[in-house]
Amino acid sequence: MRIRFEPFGITTQAEAGMNLLQAAQAAGVEIESVCGGKGTCGKCKVLASRGLAEPTRLELRSLSEAELAQGYRLACQAIISGDVEVVVPEESRRSRVSILAEGIQGELVNDPWIRTIVMKVDPPSLDYQLGDTERVTAQFAAMNYGQFNPTLNALQQLPNAIREQDGVINLVMIDDQVVEIHAGSIPPRILGMAFDIGTTTVVGYLIDMATRKQVAIASLLNPQTRYGDDVVSRIEFSGKESGLATLQAEIINAINTIINETTSTAGVSKQDIYGLTLVGNTTMQHLLLGVSPAAMAHSPYVPAFVEMRCLKAAELGIRVHPEAHTWILPNIAGWVGADTTAVILATNLQHHDGIALAIDIGTNGEMALGSRERLLACSTAAGPAFEGAHLSCGMRAADGAVDMVQVNGDLHWHTIGNAPPRGICGSGLVDLVAEMLRNGVLSENGTMVSADELNNAPSKALLAQRLSGDGRQRAFMIADPSQGAGGRALAITQRDIRELQLAKGAIRAGIEILMRELGVTATDVKRVYLAGAFGNYIKPASALAIGLIPHFPNAEIVPVGNAAGSGARMALLSASARQEAADLVRRVEYLELSGRPDFQEQFAEAMLF
């Protein structure tokens, strides 16, 4: 069948029985699909009037009568039966995502594990007939570098290099291996890359290992998102035929894309990259290595591995120096991954004298609490609402996302890119709900009041005009059709509020359980680190207003940006920082919340605003 996608002008062929989302993905047309094509998120709306089977039950439930009459369909449900012309409206297109790359970084010991060594080796003679390798070995030991351990490549380079400039050679070392030997005293360029592989985004940092400076950075949307926005969807997809291989290939391709971009920007060769460090949650680490994460989806949620692992880049298909060591930083548990390990490393939580809390709210919510005396960590399934998924008006932090809200008589908003509003992202949602609470639009239990109730206060008349519907169908308009992208209104529904309550309740309950387990109260906490894009852009006052975090009267609240990426860079630059990351696995105590009765009690209480 002939399928044409507008406004892209892309025409492709598809077999009858495929759905439009599958045809779009094959043609390289990016359509939002938060639920991974299950038909539950309603984000893949397209316009198509012919060549499709009748709407499915899920479409009839997700689309209004007016939308169906206009020809709207869900791309993941619309089965192709003939030639189709498809219009992908702006709100259904995957656009450029705002990705946070920078973050706090702790102090580092200057002990690089990728380095160059210059030495002068005595020439052989009839009276000194030691072989080249043996003479280098003796010199290596005399310089207190330990055992000379060359790779085959380095061994092949040695005879010519040692004779080219009177025995002066330059050795490139990765950990305890010599991987290259060059003639002369001028060292070659040595580079490394650190990666933060998030569920939603991937960030790569290109570092000059000699100067310890960042020379380029690049980021992109994790291509695995087309198979589902959350880790559970991807675990499910990995269980399908070729699913695991597909997800691994997607993330390796993303890593190679970032390597190409950063090296091109810096004007350097990919072959100059001798080492990599990678962090991500436990599921992302498994998918990266092509290891099934299926067991983590079921009690007792056990991963295939947690310890730090080292592979050669060539084993994974990462296109850098073939001998490059690729360190996969350690996970803490099935649902607390290496990204949390990196956050702890970057914030130096393990060395704090006083009690400190680190919270990383992304597609999942992980938190660590403690000091040098004791460290606890846990995870809660809280992310989708804060990432914009599972909300009728939600979206990622991309152009057109409402990211800040303020009420001053009436509602005022700001969008990323100053574009017409297409949806609302996490920071905007928390702002909005905080303002709705402050102005009496929401009750403590999360119920929207009626317009009549709000009209009793003359100062709230403009806000009252934004309310519509009754009960569970009640909605609060953020932007009217004249303001919204594509002439569509933007509103938050009562169901959206409930989704936020579930998400913030889980985070808050996790924090309370950690404090209870550690035997401390909110007054004992001296510092709160908010990590990740959501933590960086959220207003602390709004987070407190909705009860996302407790009131910590003696604590400084510190946004620390992409602390996971910073931790990955620290492990790249310092062997002792990398070792400290490895040691954290045995030091951090993981709390599994799902089986705790006190978590359910705390969660119910934390649902209230």
CATH for 295: 3.30.420.480
Q: Write out pLDDT tens, residues 316-332.
A: 999 999 999 999 999 99
Give the tens place of pLDDT for each residue, 167-211.
Answer: 999 999 999 999 999 999 999 999 999 999 998 889 999 999 999
Angle made by CA atoms 489, 490, 493, in degrees to the nearest 5: 120
Q: Tell me which of 92-101, 390-399, 445-454 is least confident.
A: 92-101
Same domain as 220, residue 120? no
Q: What is the pLDDT of residue 38?
A: 83
DSSP string, 14-79: --TT-BHHHHHHHTT--B--TTSSSS-S---EEE--SSBPPPPHHHHHHS-HHHHHHTEEETTT-B
Average pLDDT over residues 583-595: 93
- Residues 324 and 201 both lie in one domain: yes
Q: Do 310 and 220 share a domain, yes or no?
A: yes
What is the mean predicted confidence (pLDDT) over 46-73? 89
CATH code of the domain in which 145 resides: 3.10.20.880
Which residue, chain included where needed, has tokens 């709210």?
Answer: 361
Whether 152 and 199 map to the same domain: the answer is: no
Question: Please, are residues 286 and 304 in contact by the beta-carbon 8 Å criterion?
Answer: yes
Q: What is the pLDDT of residues 341-358, one digit of tens each?
A: 999 999 999 999 999 999
Would residue 582 count as lying in a domain? Answer: no
Residue 604: CB atoms within 10 Å: 11
Same domain? For 218 and 132 the reply is no
Q: Which is more confident, 14 or 291? A: 291
Question: Is 102 inside a domain boundary?
Answer: no
- Residue 340 clears pLDDT 60, i.e. is over it: yes
User: pLDDT class for 588, splitting at 50, 70, 90?
Assistant: very high
Indicate whether 7 belongs to any domain: yes
In terms of domains, do 246 and 303 share one? yes
Boundary of a domain, candidates 468, 499, 530: 499
What is the per-residue pLDDT for 152?
Answer: 96
Find the mean pLDDT for residues 67-82. 91
Question: The domain spanning residue 7 has which CATH number?
Answer: 3.10.20.30
Half-sphere exposure of 232 (CA within 13 A, CB side): 13
For the chain, the domain total comes to: 4
CA separation, residue 585 to residues 65, 340, 531 (Å): 53, 11, 20
> Same domain, yes or no, for 170 and 212?
no
Could you list the residue range(s) of the whole structural domain that residue 423 is in? 389-499
My answer on whether 324 and 195 are in the same domain is yes
CA distance 511 to 565: 23
Q: Is 96 a residue whose pLDDT tops 60?
A: no
Does residue 195 lie in a domain region? yes
563-578 average pLDDT score: 96
* The residue count for the chain: 609
381 has pLDDT over 80 = no
Q: Out of 5-19, 82-96, 508-522, which region has the weakest mean confidence (pLDDT)?
A: 82-96
Looking at the structure, tell me whether residues 61 and 136 fall in a common domain: no
Q: Do 410 and 450 fall within a single domain?
A: yes
Asked if residue 25 has pLDDT above 90, the reply is: no
Q: What is the mean pLDDT of residues 104-133?
A: 88
More confident residue, 590 or 97: 590
Contact 88, 46 (CB under 8 A): yes
Alpha helix stretches (DSSP H) within 199-321: 231-238, 243-266, 282-289, 313-316
Q: What global pTM score does this model have?
A: 0.84
Asked if residue 515 has pLDDT above 70, the reply is yes
Last residue of a domain, one of 123, 152, 183: 183
Q: Measure CA of the first residue to CA of the last residue in the chain; give whole Å.
A: 52
Query: Where a domain ends, among 499, 519, 535?
Result: 499
